[in-house]
Structure 1
Amino acid sequence: MVLHLTGSDWAAGSAHASGAALLLGLLLLIALAIRMGDGMGSILNKTRVRQAITSAIIIVVLFIYSGVAFSIQPSLHIAQAHSLENQQQWQPAIDEYTQGGEQAPDGADLARTYTSWGLALNKSQHYNEALTKFDTVIQKFTASSAQSEVHRAQVGDIAARLSLSRQSLDAKDYDGATKSLDTILGIPYCDNTCQTQASALDATAYYNIGEGKLQTQDYESAVNAFDKVLTKFSSAPEAGQLHGDMAKALLGMGKQERSSSCSSAIPTYQRLGKEYGDTNEGKSAQKDLNAPQDITGHFTNIETDVPFNQIGLTTGLKGGMGKDELFAKWDGSKKTNIQDNGNFAFHGISQGNYDLIWYANNGSYEYVEFIYHQVSQEPTYVAEVGPLCPVNMGNVTNVHTV
């Protein structure tokens, strides 16, 4: 009985007692054999039968005790594991359950201990450590016997993740919060309650990202963050709060796009005018979209004897037109001078398509000319004036096109 208390756990003490009982039994068996041969078995010993039977019973009891003490070790591991689990000594309990033969995927006691450990860590706000315990249960304990514990672990896992997300929000780590919350929303066991909570927090995080990016004039990132709120969390209060700031972000982004690649800014301005026309930014964008534009280019004259010095914008030019008709088009065109270096510029041209025509007067004769494709008879140089962006015609030359 003393040896039962000497092991590192109950099973080890039982093993010690088992070994001692086996050794005592063997020693008694040897002693009995020696004594029987040394006179105890003599017919002159009137108590020989009682002595032999008593010794045999003791030896058998010791052998039985040794076998039983050895065979109950798994049960002792399990019993001690239950005791340790009740004392919330989680890792020792897990060790005992494991030595008792429990393992994934169907060790319900192990799964329960891991889950309870995770929930205790949640309660003490050690959320990352809790997640490792829950993950062990969710990933490894797949048997039906452990499904109730898997469900508990899933609930605890969601609670830990939401708590970590709230911590990120409180610390104004909005990027970290959105990453965590986006992950939560994609987890299969995130139920309706989970979806509602995570969505509300995620909308707040993205809204705050947008506001921060707007303040630092990172307009594209602000627009992207606000769009997340509008598309993924349209029913969140933040979706109704960002209207004015989204207009500011779109206008800021549009201006940046316009300065680097004007055509890329057109969709931004169009969205701003269409969806945020009630804001000052939307009205400004629509005004810019409707505004006339400039047309610039460079004229290269290969006819050295004809001094073309004016260029015009007209419509309806076609190959094979008569002289009078062509001069009439010139007379009705919007004209500008061709500079000595060949550059020309039109200012404030309404949106539309314009054919380019040029003019010369050498004091004796007037010349009007345009270049067209010989097959289609359509003008080669057509200025397409659209919204927002000036038009650069590049090099315009009177080389005939095939």
Structure 2
Amino acid sequence: MPTPVRQPKGIARPLPTWAFILGLLVIVGTLITLFFTGSDWADGDLHLAFVAAGLAVMLLIVLGIRSLAGMAASNNPQRLRQYVSSILVIIILFTSGGAGLLAHGSLHAAQAHFLENQHQWGQAITEYQLAGEKAPSSVDLARTYDEWGEDLSQNKQFQAANGKFDMVQSNFSQTPNEVSRAQKDETQSYINWGKQEAGQHHYTNATSRFDYVLSLSYCGSDCKAEVSALDATAYYNQAETMLSQKNYQEAVTSFKVVQNRFPQAPEASKQHKDMSKALLGKGKEDKSTLCETALPVYQELATKFADTPEGLEAKAALSVPQPVLGHFVNGVPKLSDGYVKINASLLQNLSTDVTRDDFYQQMANAPTATISDDGHFKFQPLKPGTYDLVWGFIRNDGYELYMFYHSKETNQPIYVAQVGQLCPFDFGDIQDPFMQNN
């Protein structure tokens, strides 16, 4: 006798089609939502995997309960369909969970490539690192840093861009293609940075960028030719700007860079007249503060810029005789004390062997300067040469005494004036007593 067909009751009953489909949609929607709840794809994948596995276990338990509740009865006409659909969903969930766990590591790399294509450089680098990429061999990391730098450079963020290129060169030595790319990119970045600075009349900054490029070992002949031309122009414009502002020292410095480092540049020949103006301005400033420092400037003008008004002015200044001055500090007599004359003279080739007659004969024809009561004296301008200082007095009773100090080792005069070009000779304060015995 056939077993009568009996419809299962309660939890064992088949779900309506709409409820089954709705349940599947809820499960799929939940899993998709969970995938996007992680900080990245891999985290979301873990969430999905664990929840899918959990749901599969839960449905497996429910399946067992339903089976005990009558779903497994032989007289249940829906038994096969119920078991097939339930087991299929459980298998899909277990498979999804397992696949999620297996794919966890590779998702970091996949997301990294996606973020790289979206120009989200920092996040891409993080994902590559989570995927196991690291220096010095990771091509993906090196490439992303290069691309990041290129992006920054295109947006004129040159300093930040060069930091990325330096990162590649410093840390990814085992990626030669990317290192070469970083070197090329950094070179162009500095060139563009220098051009931008020059365009804004920030010539000091521009020359700094161009100088850096020229110092790079990987700046080849074509690179040097291009950048040298830019650098020469920047230094020339810097010099012209400083000259217009009467900053002669800086102007001369920049002109000399063009002259010495870029002699073939058009600016090197174009700057001749303006450089002479800067040199003369600098020379006059030096002469007013510390005359000796001005002498080489005037000499350069007189020899190398004789075809300019400034060169002729310098040459004339070098030919002007120069005074000799000084100051006796101790024991200077005063005219009010009964002296007719208190003065100093400049003799030449003086020695301790000189006779009294020769000594006074030389003095008769020597340059003479009065010594004031406070010890100061100043000779009229003299031609360049070496002069020995002697000094003394004549009293109103006719007594006359002149002397000079000499070295006991060499018997040569101690106070010697080396009169040269452009600058007065100053003995300064003479600390020795005016007279050893008067």
| Band of TM-score, shorter chain | 0.7 to 0.9
In the TM superposition, 1:1-400 aligns within 5 A as 2=29, 5-6=32-33, 7-8=35-36, 11=42, 14-15=45-46, 17-35=48-66, 37=68, 59=90, 62-88=93-119, 90=121, 93-94=124-125, 96-140=127-171, 142-144=172-174, 146-297=175-326, 300-301=332-333, 307-337=340-370, 343-357=376-390, 365=398, 367=400, 369-373=402-406, 375=408, 376-394=410-428, 398-400=434-436
Once residues 38 and 18 of structure 1 are traced to their aligned partners in structure 2, the CA distance between those partners, rounded to angstroms, is 30
Q: Which 5+ residue runs of structure 2 have no aligned equivalent?
A: 1-27
- Using the TM superposition, name which of 20-29 and 167-176 deviates more: 20-29
User: Given residue 385 of structure 2, which amino acid in structure 1 is its aligned partner?
Assistant: G
1:338, CA displacement in angstroms?
5.1
- Using the TM superposition, name which of 32-41 and 231-240 deviates more: 32-41
Q: Deviations over 1:329-387 (max 9, x none)?
A: 22332345556766543323111112234576668757362224373443344332122
Check whether the contact 2:242–2:250 (CA below 8 A) recurs between aligned residues: yes
1:84, CA displacement in angstroms?
4.4
Once residues 355 and 204 of structure 1 are traced to their aligned partners in structure 2, the CA distance between those partners, rounded to angstroms, is 52
3-state DSSP of counterpart to 2:360 = helix
1:48, CA displacement in angstroms?
9.2
Once residues 266 and 185 of structure 2 are traced to their aligned partners in structure 1, the CA distance between those partners, rounded to angstroms, is 28
- Using the TM superposition, name which of 384-393 and 118-127 deviates more: 118-127
Change (3 A) 1:286 1:400: farther
User: Given residue 387 of structure 1, which amino acid in structure 2 is its aligned partner?
Assistant: Q
1:130, CA displacement in angstroms?
3.5
User: Given residue 366 of structure 2, which amino acid in structure 1 is its aligned partner?
Assistant: S
1:226, CA displacement in angstroms?
1.8
Check whether the contact 2:156–2:193 (CA below 8 A) recurs between aligned residues: no
Greater gyration radius: 2
3-state DSSP of counterpart to 2:137 = coil
1:67, CA displacement in angstroms?
0.7
User: Given residue 300 of structure 2, which amino acid in structure 1 is its aligned partner?
Assistant: R
User: Given residue 400 of structure 2, which amino acid in structure 1 is its aligned partner?
Assistant: Y
Change (3 A) 1:196 1:310: same
Once residues 373 and 59 of structure 2 are traced to their aligned partners in structure 1, the CA distance between those partners, rounded to angstroms, is 129
Check whether the contact 1:3–1:16 (CA below 8 A) recurs between aligned residues: no
Check whether the contact 1:353–1:383 (CA below 8 A) recurs between aligned residues: yes
1:243, CA displacement in angstroms?
2.1
Once residues 59 and 374 of structure 2 are traced to their aligned partners in structure 1, the CA distance between those partners, rounded to angstroms, is 125
User: Given residue 171 of structure 1, which amino acid in structure 2 is its aligned partner?
Assistant: Q
Q: Provide TM-score, normalisation by structure 2.
A: 0.75
Once residues 310 and 128 of structure 1 are traced to their aligned partners in structure 2, the CA distance between those partners, rounded to angstroms, is 69
Check whether the contact 1:3–1:13 (CA below 8 A) recurs between aligned residues: no
- Using the TM superposition, name which of 22-31 and 49-58 deviates more: 49-58
Once residues 29 and 173 of structure 2 are traced to their aligned partners in structure 1, the CA distance between those partners, rounded to angstroms, is 41
3-state DSSP of counterpart to 2:140 = helix
Check whether the contact 2:407–2:414 (CA below 8 A) recurs between aligned residues: no
Once residues 396 and 167 of structure 2 are traced to their aligned partners in structure 1, the CA distance between those partners, rounded to angstroms, is 96
User: Given residue 386 of structure 1, which amino acid in structure 2 is its aligned partner?
Assistant: G
Once residues 407 and 126 of structure 2 are traced to their aligned partners in structure 1, the CA distance between those partners, rounded to angstroms, is 91
Identity of aligned residues (%): 37
Once residues 220 and 73 of structure 2 are traced to their aligned partners in structure 1, the CA distance between those partners, rounded to angstroms, is 85
Change (3 A) 1:364 1:230: same
1:128, CA displacement in angstroms?
4.5
Change (3 A) 1:393 1:24: closer
Change (3 A) 1:92 1:378: closer
Matched residues, number: 399
Change (3 A) 1:368 1:109: same
Once residues 388 and 12 of structure 1 are traced to their aligned partners in structure 2, the CA distance between those partners, rounded to angstroms, is 83
User: Given residue 403 of structure 2, which amino acid in structure 1 is its aligned partner?
Assistant: F
